[in-house]
Chains A and B, each alone.
Chain A
Amino acid sequence: MKYADEFRDKTMAQGLARAIGIEADPQRAYRFMEFCGGHTHVIFRYGLEDLLPANVRLIHGPGCPVCVLPASRIDMAIRLAARPQVILCVYGDLMRVPGSQGQSLLRARALGADIRMVYSTLDAIRIAEQALDQEVVFFAIGFETTTPATAVMIRLAKKKRLKNLSVFCNHVLTPPAMQSILESPDIRALGRAEIDGFIGPAHVSAIIGTEPYGRLAEEFGEPIVIAGFEPLDVMQAILMLVRQVNDGRSEVENQYSRAVRPEGNRRAIEEVSNVFELRDQFEWRGLGLIQDSALKLKRPYAKFDAEARFVMHELPVVDNPACECGAILRGVKSPVDCKLFGTVCTPETPIGSCMVSSEGACAAHWTYGRGRDYQLRRA
């Protein structure tokens, strides 16, 4: 497949693996966090960890939108969808995310709620136009990548004077989450981050550019390499990170220059800033409340806010105490450190959200990587 196979070339991968092997100092450890679930998926799907020397370790970060969504937000959506007249439009990934007490949108749909999987925000507009006597709510979720599409939908809805369409907004921001990880007491043990560098987001950076990461690299002394979602991209980014660590540099470098410009996608940024503004704080599963880490609708668009329109309340939910999703999302623990992993928590019966999406660290590890654990245990 053109424009994809070129980035999956085995010979080039082996060349990069050799270079990483030669340049990585055997006397030290390299712990790199890939922030994005997209990278986590690629790492497991192509078995990239098999190509790396033992002292280069990848830590799987929280950049999977459904993984960081608290169960309370799913509960809110389920309660909303249970109202007669409401059609809830969601992206497919959300259907199986566990809410509290074993609830999910998939189960709510089976019980009669009108929940529809959509592939684009424009599908929600189409549904709203066809069901004028019903209330259509779009469950907006995602990092900076999906936010512009929601912004466009709201702008179009306003232009079309669609009164029956609203948004349950759960859009979150990447840089504040990265900062929260670096400031987490678990991670900054002894005053020093246990992360030696970040593989920076691909699609998110195509929207926001490389500039927003500058402060993080500078303030926390962390090398950041923005990388594409193909396996060669990730390998090359790891080599670039190894070199930064060896040189004692902490810069923002752009491996994904074919898609990411320093200033990002101006048009998309403009669409978003026209419609959205910062929320004071937002709860992230595993990371807790993070200031200025999510978006809400600006005043002129407030009537499209489903939380206000339907007076939705967030009721606190206590996660399963044995679930280690929080520590896993912060990179402090690995999926195999969790007692629930692979026992009661599997992709068929997820307890924590990391097991739901194929981009979640636990699901990716279980689906693609558990053979390695069995092998290690034997050894």
Chain B
Amino acid sequence: MRVKSYQRKLDIKNGCIDLSHGSGGRATTQLVLGLFHEAFGNEWLARCNDQSAFGVRSGRMVMTTDSYVVSPLFFPGGNIGSLAVHGTVNDVAMAGARPLYLAASFILEEGFRLSDLKAVADSMGAAARAAGVHIITGDTKVVERGKADGLFISTTGVGVLANGLELSAENARIGDRVLVSGCLGDHGVAIMSRRHNLAFQVDIVSDSAALHDLVAVMVAAGGAGIRVMRDPTRGGLAATLNEIAHQSSLGFRLQEEAIPVKPAVTAACELLGLDPLHVANEGKLVAIVAADMADAVLAAMKAHPLGCDAADIGEAVADHHHLVQMSTSFGGRRIVDWLSGEQLPRIC
């Protein structure tokens, strides 16, 4: 379908979203074709249907969905668009699966600049292409000014599990090792450094990245020795390990000195009174791996560019209170608890 020539061209440079872009009329079509199809371009979208059909291969399918409401929309190392691809790709990948297709929904606030929307869509397209996934269907809605914070994106991902793996958070066993794929807290600190009421100078960029390739080399090295994989996003490593501890009915014992955190992230967290273990990541994973396979998996991680700072940070232990405990670098011991409520800065 071609946009008819009598219609005014989408003014991406100066234009902004208005309610007509969500009306289902010509303006909607123009936006979808002129902006989203341009950015995502693929054979499925080109058919302009309300859905896309794709072939199903042998093996089990994996499906996930996630919404992205990040503020600010643009941050060092990415934007809401790349995040919406990476986050959902990673959720599929954490099952040990290969992500194939994405669906994307956009809630746009009246007045949102088309140039910003194009930047977000282009970055989604680029992230999807780099990850080898296709955005094959989507939806656009426009809400009145004040009813959304510029732009919300929701993405749904589908992938295929061909390797017979059954990763699940209840699979951790006592004695398993805890591996992380790199330095923690980069994403959360990068975002906080750009919040308008908290702007501070820091050279940290978001770690937002698609991890399925790293997962594939880990699975090749560790096979069924990999019990659980999770990406520690909101709530950080602390939340992820507490979830697994509860689901697997055991505890974890970590070594603080082994946990990789960049000095700039540590410093920013000190300044704000935050714990790096509670801060979000968007390009890191935690793997619980059988002790006899841990070294092989860790070596495979370290050989991959997204896992070069990977580390073995502790082990699963028997604990009917399901606590995550940590031997501090100071020689003491403490609990690594869930975050309570929102991370609030301390007074003094």
* A residues with CB within 8 A of B: 1, 4, 8, 10, 13-14, 17, 38, 44-51, 65-66, 91-96, 106, 117-119, 123, 141-143, 145-146, 203, 231, 346-348, 357-359, 363, 366-372, 374
CA–CA, A347 and B266, complex, Å: 24
Listed A/B pairs (28) with beta-carbon separation below 8 Å: A4-B266, A13-B331, A38-B348, A45-B328, A46-B328, A46-B334, A47-B334, A50-B332, A51-B331, A65-B348, A92-B347, A93-B344, A96-B344, A117-B345, A118-B197, A119-B197, A142-B348, A143-B348, A146-B347, A357-B347, A366-B337, A367-B335, A368-B335, A368-B337, A370-B335, A371-B333, A372-B333, A374-B321
Contacts of B59 in A (CB 8 A): none
Q: In this complex, which of B330, B331, B341 has the most chain A Cβ atoms within 10 angstroms of its Cβ?
A: B330
Q: Is B270 positioned at the interface, with any CB of A under 8 Å from its CB?
A: yes
- Min CB–CB distance A363 → chain B (angstroms): 8
Contact pick for B334, options A96, A145, A203, A369, CB 8 Å: A369
Taking a contact as CB atoms under 8 Å apart, the answer to whether B341 and A66 are in contact is no
Contacts of A65 in B (CB 8 A): 347-348
Contacts of A368 in B (CB 8 A): 334-335, 337
- Min CB–CB distance A155 → chain B (angstroms): 20
Taking a contact as CB atoms under 8 Å apart, the answer to whether A1 and B346 are in contact is no
Query: Beyond A10-B330, A358-B346, A371-B333: 11 further Cβ-contacts under 8 Å?
Result: A4-B267, A10-B329, A46-B334, A47-B332, A93-B344, A93-B345, A141-B347, A357-B347, A366-B337, A368-B337, A369-B334
Q: Which of B299-340 contact A (CB under 8 A)?
A: 321, 323, 325, 327-335, 337, 340
CA–CA, A201 and B328, complex, Å: 24
Q: Is B198 positioned at the interface, with any CB of A under 8 Å from its CB?
A: yes
Contacts of A51 in B (CB 8 A): 330-332
* Nearest-neighbor residue (CB-CB) of B337 within chain A: A367
With A1-B267, A119-B198 given, is the CB distance from A50 to B344 under 8 Å? no
Contacts of A358 in B (CB 8 A): 273, 346
Contacts of B266 in A (CB 8 A): 1, 4
Question: Which size class do B's interface residues fall under?
Answer: 20 to 34
- Min CB–CB distance B301 → chain A (angstroms): 25
Q: In this complex, which of B267, B273, B329, B344 has the most chain A Cβ atoms within 10 angstroms of its Cβ?
A: B344
CA–CA, A141 and B342, complex, Å: 20
Contacts of A92 in B (CB 8 A): 344-347
A-B pairs, top 10 by smallest CB distance, nearest first, are A47-B332, A347-B340, A92-B344, A368-B334, A46-B330, A50-B332, A92-B345, A47-B333, A145-B348, A367-B337
Contacts of A363 in B (CB 8 A): 340
Taking a contact as CB atoms under 8 Å apart, the answer to whether A371 and B331 are in contact is no
CA–CA, A274 and B48, complex, Å: 71
- Min CB–CB distance B2 → chain A (angstroms): 48
Contacts of B267 in A (CB 8 A): 1, 4
Contact pick for A4, options B270, B327, B346, CB 8 Å: B270
Taking a contact as CB atoms under 8 Å apart, the answer to whether B344 and A45 are in contact is no
Taking a contact as CB atoms under 8 Å apart, the answer to whether B332 and A48 are in contact is yes
CA–CA, A10 and B341, complex, Å: 32
Per-residue CB proximity of B198-218 to A under 8 Å, as 1/0?
A: 100000000000000000000
Taking a contact as CB atoms under 8 Å apart, the answer to whether A231 and B337 are in contact is no
Taking a contact as CB atoms under 8 Å apart, the answer to whether B332 and A49 are in contact is yes
With A1-B270, A142-B348 given, is the CB distance from A348 to B331 under 8 Å? no
Taking a contact as CB atoms under 8 Å apart, the answer to whether A13 and B330 are in contact is yes
* Nearest-neighbor residue (CB-CB) of A202 within chain B: B348
CA–CA, A49 and B332, complex, Å: 7
- Min CB–CB distance B148 → chain A (angstroms): 18
Q: Is B263 positioned at the interface, with any CB of A under 8 Å from its CB?
A: yes
Contacts of A346 in B (CB 8 A): 340
Contacts of B333 in A (CB 8 A): 47, 50, 371-372
Contacts of A95 in B (CB 8 A): 342, 344
CA–CA, A118 and B348, complex, Å: 13
CA–CA, A346 and B341, complex, Å: 11
- Min CB–CB distance A212 → chain B (angstroms): 18
- Min CB–CB distance A59 → chain B (angstroms): 18
